[in-house]
Amino acid sequence: SQKIEQNSEALNIQEGKTATLTCNYTNYSPAYLQWYRQDPGRGPVFLLLIRENEKEKRKERLKVTFDTTLKQSLFHITASQPADSATYLCALSGGGADGLTFGKGTHLIIQP
């Protein structure tokens, strides 16, 4: 069955450093991969979308890579700030009408 794995342990990063989150998947050939941020008690907020034929996407301090050979996406936050502390979710989909499949998320803590 399709499986998406994100670090279940909380990730503690010192302010100013680069935070790198991992999303691995198996039994899946996604056409699109998305990253979302979720704060406690709130719905997820869309951050970035990357297509299977794109290797890298950037938006301000955020960068996403997508390696379909390794079946892995890396999500980077450079110059991290305490306000970046949240749970980050990756989500995959095929190109058709199927729904988004989400990972369980990684809880990121940026310490001052």
Partner 1 sequence: KAGVTQTPRYLIKTRGQQVTLSCSPISGHRSVSWYQQTPGQGLQFLFEYFSETQRNKGNFPGRFSGRQFSNSRSEMNVSTLELGDSALYLCASSLEPGRREPQHFGDGTRLSIL
Query: Based on CB atoms, which residue is closest to partner 1, 11 or 15?
Result: 11
User: Least CB distance from residue 7 to partner 1, whole Å?
Assistant: 13
Choose among 72, 95, 99, 79: nearest CA to 6. Answer: 72
DSSP conformational letter for 99: P
Q: Specify the residue for token string 């310490």.
A: 111
Q: For partner 1, what does the binding mask look like between residues 2 and 41, x meaning CB under 8 A?
A: -----------------------------xx-x-x----x
The whole-angstrom separation of Cα 36 and Cα 46 is 5
Q: Which of 3, 12, 18, 45 binds partner 1 (CB under 8 A)?
A: 45
Query: Based on CB atoms, which residue is closest to partner 1, 5 or 15?
Result: 5
The whole-angstrom separation of Cα 96 and Cα 38 is 26
